[in-house]
Amino acid sequence: MTVRAYVALGSNLDDPPTQLANACNALQHIDQTRLEAVSSVFRSSPVGPGNQPDYLNAVALLITGLPALTLLQALQQIERAQGRVREERWGPRTLDLDLLLYGDVSLETDTLTLPHPRMYQRDFVLLPLQELWHENRVLPNGSDLATLLRACADNRVVKTSCELPAGR
């Protein structure tokens, strides 16, 4: 059995376009997983503390046969391989890979909450997700994607000309 999983990609350190491209390439090599599509890349202001550079963000659609926690472990391994160090919550980072959705699974453990608990409030996640989310435009919490985008839009998120490997 395979599942559609959506993964948010973000970077604001060490050449973010290259970090995101390398992450897309690494996603293609996860066991039992196919990189189906990647959204456009969006630039956004940082949410976290201090004076940070802007982020580049995208969303990838994976088709996977892995359990959600195993997929999360694979994503975290990609982060570590690209120099991710978890020192400060919402601090600057080389790469952030967040598992947003895993089919229609709802889950809450110490290591993983699905759907991602803050995705509904972040236009830098919802805008790229909108490009890939073709089901019925209603997210697992029952909210319409367009309504959520209107509620959180703050004009800090801008589509860039950066292109990422699309998989398949």
Which are the contacts of 146, defined by CB distance < 8 A and separation ≥ 6?
130, 137
* Rounded-to-integer distance, Cα 43 and Cα 46, Å: 10
Query: Catalytic residue numbers?
Result: 84, 93, 96, 98
Give tens-digit pLDDT for 100-141: 999 988 889 999 999 898 888 888 999 999 899 876 667 777
Q: Where does 13-67 have alpha helices with state H?
A: 16-27
* The pLDDT value given to residue 164: 81
* The pLDDT value given to residue 87: 67
* The pLDDT value given to residue 88: 62
> Buried b vs exposed e over 9-36: b needs ≥16 C-beta within 10 Å?
bbbbbeebeebbbbbbebbeebeebebb
Give tens-digit pLDDT for 35-72: 999 999 999 988 766 788 999 999 999 999 999 999 99
Mean of pLDDT over the chain = 87
What domains are defined for the chain? Answer: 3-159 (3.30.70.560)
* The pLDDT value given to residue 167: 59
DSSP conformation letters of 76-109:
HHHHHHTT----STT---S-EEEEEEETT--EE-
Which are the contacts of 46, defined by CB distance < 8 A and separation ≥ 6?
12, 52, 53, 54, 55, 90, 92
Looking at per-residue confidence, does 50 or 159 come out higher? 159
In terms of Cα–Cα distance, which of 125, 116, 114 is closest to 148?
Answer: 125
* The pLDDT value given to residue 13: 92
pTM of the model: 0.90
What is the CB neighbour count within 10 angstroms for residue 137?
12
Looking at per-residue confidence, does 149 or 91 come out higher? 149
Position 11 pLDDT exceeds 80:
yes
